[in-house]
Amino acid sequence: MDKANKLIALKGKKIAEFDLKSESSTEALAAMLGPTGNMRAPTLQLGKTLIVGFNEEVFTSQFS
């Protein structure tokens, strides 16, 4: 998280975006964790963007 500027947290159809340089990191950290307290999967870093979770629309937009 230290090297990323942006977090995109995906939970089903919910998409939450965080600007890691200006927003509270506790909210971003909570969005990255699943119900058991483990890191959500998949977790990817694309440049300065961290993507946690899966959403086909977001993956298509980020990887095309």
Tens digits of residue pLDDT in 12-59: 889 999 998 876 678 888 999 988 999 999 999 989 999 999 998 888
Structure tokens at 39: 């890191």
Residue 1 has pLDDT above 90, yes or no: no
Number of neighbours of residue 23 by Cβ within 10 angstroms: 12
| Polymer length in residues for the chain | 64
Cβ(54)–Cβ(63) below 8 Å: no
